[in-house]
Amino acid sequence: MKNSSKETTVASGKYLFTSESVSMGHPDKLADQISDGILDALFAQDPYSRVACETMVTTGLAVVAGEITTTANISYQDVIRNVIRDVGYTDDEMGISADTCAVMVSIDRQSPDIAQGVNEDNTSGKEIGAGDQGLMFGYACRDTEPELMPMPIALSHRILNRLNDARFGNEVNWLRPDSKSQVTVEYDGFTPVKIDTVVLSTQHSPDVEN
Flag whether pLDDT at 117 surpasses 80: no
Segment 151-204, tens digit of pLDDT: 999 999 999 999 999 999 999 999 999 999 999 999 999 999 999 999 999 999
Position with higher pLDDT, 136 vs 61: 61
Question: Is the preceding peptide bond at 146 cis, omega within 30 degrees of 0?
Answer: yes
Q: Taking the model in full, what pTM does it have? A: 0.83
Alpha-carbon distance of 17 to 77, in angstroms, equals: 41
> Any idea what the CATH number is for the domain that residue 39 is in?
3.30.300.10
- Among 117, 152, 183, which residue terminates a domain? 117
In a domain, 62, yes or no: yes
Same domain, 107 and 188: no
In a domain, 209, yes or no: no
Same domain, 13 and 41: no
Note the residue count of the chain. 210
- Among 88, 117, 146, which residue terminates a domain? 117
Question: How many domains is the chain built from?
Answer: 2
Same domain, 152 and 113: no
Confidence of residue 3 (pLDDT cuts 50, 70, 90): very low
Phi–psi pair at 66, nearest 5 degrees: 155, -165
Same domain, 111 and 170: no
In a domain, 50, yes or no: yes
In a domain, 124, yes or no: no
Give yes or no for a contact between 159 and 181, defined as CB atoms under 8 angstroms apart: yes
Same domain, 93 and 168: no
In a domain, 10, yes or no: yes
Confidence of residue 113 (pLDDT cuts 50, 70, 90): low
Residue 143: name the closest of 130, 134, 152, 132 by CA: 152
Q: Which domain holds residue 42?
A: 27-117
pLDDT at 20: 96
pLDDT at 45: 98
Same domain, 142 and 95: no
pLDDT at 139: 83
> In whole numbers, what is the pLDDT of the chain averaged over residues?
89
Same domain, 111 and 38: yes
In a domain, 122, yes or no: no
Cross-strand bridge partners of residue 194: 186
- Among 83, 117, 151, which residue terminates a domain? 117
Same domain, 104 and 159: no
In a domain, 93, yes or no: yes
